[in-house]
Amino acid sequence: MQHKKNLVIQITNDSYGSGSGSLGETLMKSYMYALTEIEPYPETILFINTGARLTAANSPVLDSLRQLETAGVKILTCGTCINFLKLNETPEVGKVTNMYDIVEKMNSAVNTIVI
């Protein structure tokens, strides 16, 4: 496993792109799976806004996220988002974080990808 030097991916939605919701869900599942298959891995994946749903129970991407976490990728979900969306307090994968940590991760990243 090889990490890209401080690459952060920020997931802001539970689907990929705009338009068809079901297509977006399929694309997000494909994106997360592709992340497990292609190296280098990101150092951190941040889940904010409705992207927080992807780390909750019954998420279609939990297997991919667990695989990434096992490989050493930090999976962090916004606690304010979890509360607002009335999700379980503890994500199924990764850890709960706050905006200070999110800002710190983004500010120190060499590259940030926002989806």
Class of the 7-114 domain? Answer: alpha beta
Residue 20: per-residue pLDDT? 80
Q: What global pTM score does this model have?
A: 0.92
101 closest CA partner among 84, 80, 82, 76: 76
Number of Cα atoms under 13 Å in the Cβ half of residue 46 = 28
Residue 18: per-residue pLDDT? 83
**Residue 40 preceded by cis peptide, ω within 30:** yes
pLDDT tens sequence across 16-46: 988 887 899 999 999 999 999 988 899 999 9
DSSP code of residue 42: P
68 closest CA partner among 33, 98, 16, 104: 33
